[in-house]
Amino acid sequence: MSAGTGSRAGARTAVVGTVTRGTTGTDRLRRVERWLAQVQGRRLRAAADPLVVDLGYGARPWTVTDLQRWLRGVRPDVRVVGLEVAPERVEAARTALAGVRGAPEFARGGFELAVPGGGDPVLVRAFNVLRQYPEAQVAAAWELLRSRLAPGGLVVDGTCDELGRRAAWVALEREAGAVSLTVSVRLAGLPAPSAVAERLPKALIHRNVPGEGVHDLLRDADAAWARAAPLGTFGARQRWIATCRDLAQRWPVLDSPARWRLGELTVAWEAVR
C-alpha cells in the first residue's frame, strides 16, 4: 500500500496502497488482539458505531475472524471489516467463509479505509503491513489512517514473527498521533528483551542504533533482565516483571504488573520516537 494524502472525499474513491506478501496464519496476532480487547476495549464500548478494520489481512481471512472473536467478548455487536488491496484476496476470503453465520465482512481497500456502506472505524489494526514499505512512507500512512478514525479512535501499526511469539506495535490516536510503543513476547525461552528488535515497527526498526531512544530502551531492558537473572529460579514471568519494574524507574512505562505478567511492556512514544 503506497501511502498518500488527499481530500477526504477524493481519497475515499480510490484504493490507496499496493499488494503486500500476504503471509498469515491462525492465531498469529493473538498478542495484539488480547491487548486491543483488554486495554483498548473501552474505546469500542463507548463507540456510537462499533466499526473495526483489519487492514491488509493477507492471503487468508483468519486474522480477521480471530480479531472478531476477541472483540465480540467486549462488544457483541462489533462490526469487523477486513480490507485488502488485492481483489482476489477479498474474493478468497468471502468464499472461505461463505455460509458462516455472523462472519466478518471483506472488501477491497487500503489506507483510505473505504468500508462498505461508509463509516469511520474506532479501531484499525495494520499488522505486518507498513513493515513492507519504505520508511519514508510511514508518516503519510499514519496521517491518512488517523484522519479516517472516528472520534476517540485508535490505529495499531505493528509487526510480529511468523508464530506470533514476538511482537511490537505503535498506538496512534486520532487526536494525539503516536502515543505509545508496546512490546509483547513469549517469555519461555526468551534470551533477552532485545530479541524483539527484529520485529520493531517500520518507524523504529532502522532506528535501533546507538543514540536513538529505542536502542537505549532495549539496551536498558537487557541490563535489567540480566540484573533480574536470580529471579529466573521462579520462572521467566517473575524475571520479566522484575525487569519491567526496574525499567519503570528510568523510563515512562505506561502499564502495570497485570500486563507485565503477560510478557508485555508499554512505554510512552515520546521516549522512543
- 258: alpha, beta or left, given left = phi > 0 and alpha = psi -120 to 50? alpha
CATH number at residue 48: 3.40.50.150
In this model, does residue 150 exceed pLDDT 50?
yes
In this model, does residue 6 exceed pLDDT 60?
no
How does pLDDT run across 117-138, given as a tens digit for each residue? Answer: 999 999 999 999 998 899 999 9
Q: Is residue 86 part of a domain?
A: yes
> Tell me, what's the pLDDT at 257?
98
Question: CA-CA distance, 244 to 248, in Å (whole number)?
Answer: 6
Query: What's the pTM?
Result: 0.92
In this model, does residue 7 exceed pLDDT 70?
no
Residue scoring higher pLDDT (11 or 249): 249
In this model, does residue 2 exceed pLDDT 90?
no
How does pLDDT run across 55-108, given as a tens digit for each residue? Answer: 999 989 999 999 999 999 999 999 999 999 999 999 999 999 998 999 999 999
Range of the domain at 62: 8-175
Question: CA-CA distance, 122 to 44, in Å (whole number)?
Answer: 7
> Tell me, what's the pLDDT at 5?
39
Q: Is residue 155 part of a domain?
A: yes
